[in-house]
C-alpha cells in the first residue's frame, strides 16, 4: 500500500455544539469544504447531530444529504410527504435536504452522522464498514473516515497509522491508498 495524500486527524473532543437553524437540535461539525464555510456556502459538510425531541428538520435548499443513525433507537420521518422509518443503526439513508422533513423519535434521543453536499457542486458516497477495508482516493478527491462505534484506525504504508477514538475522524485530501480497521463501525465518505 502506498499512502499519498495529506491526512489530518480531527478529534471529537472540543468540537463546539451549534444549535440547528430551526432550534430543534444540536450539531457538532466534523469537517466542511471550503474550510470555515457557513450553512449557505459549503460545498460539503459532515457533522454529528444530536436529536433530543420530535419536530421538523431544518431545510437546506439545493442540498442532498446522507443520514446514518449512530446512537439510539431511531426516528420515524416524513420526507416530502413520504413516510421513512430510520431504525437501523449504521445504515446510510439518502434524501433531499430541501424536502420538508418531520421527525418523531421512536424511543428517546438519537445521534446521527450527517453528510450534506450541494447539488451540482459536490458528490458524496457514504459506506459504513466493520473489520478491514482498503480505501483509495484519486487526485482531487477527499476521503473522510469517522469512527462511529468504538475505535478505528487509518493505516498507510508511507507513515504511521492514525488511531481514532469514537467520533474522531481522519480527513484525507488527494491521491491516497490505505486501510481502515475497526472492530466497531466506521463511516467512509468519498467526496468529489
Confidence grade of residue 25 (pLDDT, cut at 50, 70, 90) = confident
pLDDT, average across residues 51-61:
90
pLDDT confidence of residue 20: 77
Residue 27 has pLDDT above 70, yes or no: yes
Q: What is the CATH number of domain 4-12+123-191?
A: 2.60.120.10
Q: In the chain, what percentage of residues exceed pLDDT 90?
A: 81
pLDDT confidence of residue 149: 97
pLDDT, average across residues 108-126:
96
Q: What is the CA radius of gyration of the chain?
A: 16
pLDDT, average across residues 165-182:
95
Judge if 4-12+123-191 and 18-118 fold alike in CATH terms. yes
Residue 14 has pLDDT above 80, yes or no: yes
pLDDT, average across residues 53-64:
92
CB 37 within 8 A of CB 150: no
Ranges 11-25, 62-76, 86-100, 108-122: which has the least confidence: 11-25
pLDDT confidence of residue 58: 85
Domain edges within the chain: 4-12+123-191, 18-118
CATH class (in words) of the domain with range 18-118: mainly beta
**Cα–chain center distance at 66:** 8
pLDDT, average across residues 123-136:
96
CB 154 within 8 A of CB 145: yes
Instruction: Kindly report whether the global pTM for this prediction surpasses the value 0.85.
Output: yes
Amino acid at each position: 500500500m502506498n499512502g499519498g495524500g495529506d491526512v489530518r486527524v480531527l478529534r471529537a473532543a472540543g468540537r463546539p455544539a451549534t444549535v440547528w437553524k430551526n432550534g430543534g437540535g444540536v450539531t457538532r461539525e466534523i469537517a466542511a469544504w471550503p474550510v470555515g464555510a457557513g450553512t449557505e456556502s459549503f460545498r460539503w459538510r459532515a457533522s454529528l447531530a444530536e436529536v433530543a425531541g420530535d419536530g421538523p428538520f431544518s431545510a437546506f435548499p439545493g442540498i442532498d444529504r446522507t443520514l446514518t443513525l449512530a446512537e439510539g433507537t431511531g426516528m420515524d420521518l416524513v420526507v416530502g410527504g413520504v413516510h421513512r422509518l430510520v431504525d437501523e443503526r449504521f445504515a446510510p439513508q439518502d434524501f433531499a435536504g430541501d424536502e420538508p422533513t418531520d421527525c418523531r423519535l421512536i424511543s428517546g434521543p438519537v445521534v446521527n452522522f450527517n453528510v450534506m453536499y450541494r447539488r451540482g457542486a459536490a458528490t458524496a458516497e457514504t459506506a459504513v464498514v466493520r473489520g478491514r477495508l482498503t480505501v483509495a482516493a484519486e487526485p482531487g478527491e477527499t476521503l473522510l473516515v469517522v469512527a462511529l462505534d468504538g475505535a478505528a484506525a487509518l493505516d498507510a504504508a508511507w507513515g504511521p497509522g492514525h488511531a481514532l477514538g469514537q467520533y474522531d475522524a481522519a480527513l484525507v485530501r488527494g491521491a491516497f491508498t490505505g486501510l481502515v480497521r475497526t472492530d466497531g463501525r466506521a463511516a467512509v465518505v468519498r467526496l468529489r
